[in-house]
């Protein structure tokens, strides 16, 4: 699987182009994605926080792509309190998703893994052949994990989610913020698992 990093700027999340047809997350400007506008069929959102959905409306208009998100986070595309849009002085995009994702589903060869904790509907995307994991804000490539003190967050749920992804064979780890780990990504996941188990708050 080919995964291209489209880095977020400032507090905004990374986006990734996977399989040339899937744009993962929408916190990057249309200009950053324009070169791929004709190949993108789906915009898959790892969760509903504004730093990952800020440019969803213009990206949909530019690509005509279907918007996909887990059902538990779908309301965040319309509710400012769920998306944290007010923290950015903005509003949620007001979009109804085209496709509601479920744990165990697949989209363009990517397995959907429901990993609640950061938000109720957080997901990771996993390619079993290449052992690459696009992890959103569930786990980062520095042994850390996403915050769980926002609306809908849960430390217990996040710990369970980290335990689940720690069971995967992960080579490339592609997080929602920061630099990806291109090999031995499972080391970073296990470090995050150990950190949250240590009682870190």
- In the prediction, which pLDDT does 86 show? 94
Average pLDDT for runs of 10 along the chain of length 201: 91 96 98 96 98 98 98 97 95 97 97 98 97 98 94 96 97 97 96 90 63
Question: Could you list the residue range(s) of the whole structural domain that residue 49 is in?
Answer: 3-197
Beta bridge partners of 3: 18
Count how many domains the chain has.
1
Question: Distance (Å, rounded) from C-alpha 133 to C-alpha 170?
Answer: 6
Task: Tell me the CB-side half-sphere exposure of residue 117, using CA atoms within 13 A.
Answer: 26
Q: Reduce the DSSP state of residue 75 to 3 states and report it.
A: helix
CATH number at residue 30: 3.60.15.10
**Other CB atoms within 10 Å distance of the CB of residue 104:** 9
């Amino acid at each position: 699987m080919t995964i291209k990093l489209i880095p977020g700027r400032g507090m905004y999340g990374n986006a990734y182009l996977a399989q040339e047809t899937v744009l993962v997350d929408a916190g990057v400007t249309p200009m950053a994605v324009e070169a791929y506008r004709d190949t993108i069929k789906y915009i898959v959102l790892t969760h509903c926080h504004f730093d990952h959905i800020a440019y969803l409306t213009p990206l949909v208009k530019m690509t005509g792509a279907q918007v996909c998100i887990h059902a538990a986070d779908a309301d965040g595309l319309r509710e400012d309190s769920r998306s944290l849009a007010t923290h950015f002085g903005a509003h949620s995009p007001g979009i109804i998703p085209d496709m509601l994702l479920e744990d165990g589903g697949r989209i363009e060869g990517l397995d959907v893994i429901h990993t609640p904790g950061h938000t109720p509907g957080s997901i990771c995307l996993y390619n079993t052949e290449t052992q690459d994991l696009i992890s959103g804000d569930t786990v980062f490539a520095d042994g850390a994990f996403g915050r769980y003190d926002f609306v809908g967050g849960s430390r217990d749920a996040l710990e369970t989610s980290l335990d689940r992804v720690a069971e995967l064979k992960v080579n490339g780890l592609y997080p929602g913020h920061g630099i990806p780990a291109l090999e031995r990504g499972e080391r970073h996941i296990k470090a995050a698992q150990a950190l949250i188990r240590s009682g870190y708050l």
